[in-house]
Chain A
Amino acid sequence: MATETSAGSPADGSAGRLGRVRSYLEGPNTVGNSRQFWAGFLVALIALAAYPMLTNSYQVGRVTLFFVYAFLGLSLSIVWGYAGVLSFGQVVFFGVAGYTFGVISVNFATPAGITGAFVVGVLGGAAMAAVLGYFMFYGGVRDVYVTIITLVSTLVLHTFMAQTAGDEWTIGEAALGGFNGMPTIPNLALGVEGAALTFDNVTYYYFVLALLVGMYLALRVLVNSDYGRVMVAVREDEDRTQMFGYNVKRTKLTVFTLGGALAGLSGVLYAAWGNYMSPGVFELTFASLPVIWVSVGGRKSLLGALAATIGIEYFRNSLGGELAFVIVGALLLVFILGLPGGIVPWVDEKLVPWLQRIIQSRSTGAAAAPTEETD
């Protein structure tokens, strides 16, 4: 993220339409601005698309969950990595959206109802973030105090949802169920009666994958746009950005709300994935996961958040058992102490140039060094 060379302009002469598309997707705020990166991206995409044909439905369901979590990771990357607001409360929006989806879809279990529940759930996550963010940012809460307030919100919501076992907490046909949670949430369906798509297992996998790839690319466009530069400016120095005439509070609120919507999307997909929602999503152990993914992957990099979420969850899930959280906690500790920037930026800044130097010194007579950024 150090150089500005390729910001906003197509990489080389071979412009055309593809170059124009790339110019939106690339910039100093994202890792992976070379042709090699996009080739690798395409290969990974094809591999992921072929994955369900190579394995059984249990594995497909498992990997779908990791994709669902990836939205949560991206939401924290945007909020913390790009706008500098460290939130321990992304799971609040995740949970609120999931519960909203659950309550509405249980009451209106038709495709149209579920589609509505999907939209309202995501908006619910965003609205929750907007309200909390408004009181914090316009209330003058800054820096580490924002983090503390979001953490306390998580704990308070956990207390709240855990005591909803009684009959007075039944909304229509949907009982919130206290510690036992809400079972029988229907699968995701989009459309209206007669013309509806219902997603289960493999189709859900493709739906979530497509949504995730689209979201990743859309966020890349966002962070490399002018608005993205303002976000990064807010992260780097709030006072100076304010001096330049930008509305720092509004920027933070907007980004926080967007983060809430993303976390909400993750929550809705999660509720539809497991057909279940419980106060466990507000527990501190779960609330710590997004922070771990994003810290290990590299918070200032969308790709880092994406890759680390899927990677760590795969690892944690395969490991299973009691030791998983010990190891994941240790991972967080080691990375925040030893490599605060995270893996992906390190690979981009140190490992790739180092590999290129080695390749270059072997092939004789290579003149100007084609580096990652200027390709």
Chain B
Amino acid sequence: MANGLNLLFQFLDSFAFIVLAAAGLAIIFGIMGVINLAHGEFIMLGAYATTLANIQFGLPLPAAMLAGVAVTVAFGFVVERTIVSGWLPNAISQRAIGRNVIEPLYDRLADSMVATWGLSLIMVQGVRITLGNSLDQIGTPLGNIAYGGFSYSLYRVSLAGVALAVLLGTYALFRYTTYGMRARATIQDEDTARAMGVDTERTYVTTFAIGSGLAGLTGALYAPTITMVPGLGSSFLVEAFVAVVVGGPSVVLGTTLAGGLLGAINATVSNLFGTFFGRIALLVTAIVMIRFLPDGITGFTERLRDRLQEGA
């Protein structure tokens, strides 16, 4: 019984961690064709901003979290304009030498990975230089749930609710807003979308800012539970990338299903054999999934739906 509860909490914890770690990455990857290897560092930025706002400037925790998100959104905007789209350097070079120097990184997967990796090095080292090797940490709120001889942090379990809210919010954003419609049009056919009057450039900027904001939110939410070191982002990377690979092209559904599946696997294996084997299980799952479902779970469900419709 106690171990059953343990497993349930571990599942909720893993589910929340995977979904929150992957959400921002999945949106940017799915819509812009950019793989942001600095994703972990965006999370780190959100966590640092939250911690500093809470401890240095004395904001209450929820407000500090909002500040963390805001900082990351702003940073994401700057990164999009200077690196991903090359808008700023190109504007300068147009003036100086009359031509563009940078090709936008949209849909250049490998190049975007390498470039953002450079960015992540700069961010980790930059933070280490300016703020030192570690920061004081915010205490984890909400206390523990005790049962039998065990206890589990209530805060971490309740993050599963936040993860669900993020997924629902993302779904609503893409399904019901004008921005969402434009974004979906841009994924489907960028040229046609532009011909129909969609400002795809603006869609990209907004998307990158939203993705960054989600990374910042993840950092803000986990700030009270993890050690504040400049390299903390890398602890999110495994889960984030595996979830994106397993989830496939459809962002919201893919991340939900991947979070559920991987969360279950991770929780069960970690529960039985320890956290290291939990991670190994994630890696193996990713390789097996790509073997049998090269387009991820949602690629498979889409094909299934097409076939059912043809049959009907």
Within 8 A of B (CB), among A107-137: 135-136
Q: Is B110 a contact partner of A86 (Cβ separation < 8 A)?
A: yes
Neighbouring A residues of B288 by C-beta, 8 Å: 139
Identify B83's interface contact among A139, A142, A143, A333, CB under 8 A: A333
Q: Is A329 a contact partner of B122 (Cβ separation < 8 A)?
A: yes
Q: Does A34 sit at the interface, judged by CB under 8 A?
A: no
CB distance from A315 to the nearest CB of B (A): 15
Q: Is A284 a contact partner of B110 (Cβ separation < 8 A)?
A: no
Q: Does A344 sit at the interface, judged by CB under 8 A?
A: no
Within 8 A of A (CB), among B226-276: 231, 234, 237-238, 241-242, 244-245, 275-276
Identify B290's interface contact among A141, A155, A160, A332, CB under 8 A: A141
Q: Is B294 a contact partner of A323 (Cβ separation < 8 A)?
A: no
Q: Is A333 a contact partner of B242 (Cβ separation < 8 A)?
A: no
With CB as the reference atom, state the residue of chain B lying closest to A147: B113
Binds B, one of A18-26, A37-45, A188-196, A285-293: A285-293
A337 to B84, CA, bound (A): 9
Identify A328's interface contact among B35, B121, B286, CB under 8 A: B121
A336 to B83, CA, bound (A): 10
Counting chain B CB atoms within 10 Å of each CB, which of A323, A326, A332, A337 scores highest?
A337
Q: Is B280 a contact partner of A333 (Cβ separation < 8 A)?
A: no
Neighbouring B residues of A142 by C-beta, 8 Å: 294
Number of A positions contacting B (CB below 8 A): 41
Neighbouring A residues of B287 by C-beta, 8 Å: 135-136, 139, 141, 149
Within 8 A of A (CB), among B115-136: 115, 117-122, 124-126, 128-129
Q: Does A16 sit at the interface, judged by CB under 8 A?
A: no
Counting chain A CB atoms within 10 Å of each CB, which of B35, B114, B117, B282 scores highest?
B114
Contact with A along B124-154 (1 / 0, CB 8 A): 1110110000000000000000000000000
Given the contacts A143-B109, A336-B111, A329 and B245 also touching, CB distance less than 8 Å: no
Neighbouring B residues of A336 by C-beta, 8 Å: 111, 114-115, 118
Q: Is B238 a contact partner of A156 (Cβ separation < 8 A)?
A: yes
Interfacial residues, chain B to chain A (CB-CB below 8 A): 35, 37, 83, 86, 89, 101-103, 105, 109-111, 113-115, 117-122, 124-126, 128-129, 231, 234, 237-238, 241-242, 244-245, 275-276, 279-280, 282-283, 286-288, 290-291, 294
Q: Can you sample 17 A-B contacts with CB below 8 Å? A: A86-B114, A140-B290, A141-B290, A144-B109, A145-B245, A152-B241, A152-B282, A155-B234, A155-B279, A291-B117, A326-B122, A326-B125, A332-B121, A333-B83, A333-B122, A336-B114, A337-B83
Interfacial residues, chain A to chain B (CB-CB below 8 A): 86, 135-136, 139-145, 147-149, 151-153, 155-156, 159-160, 163, 284-285, 288, 291-292, 295, 322-323, 325-326, 328-333, 336-338, 340
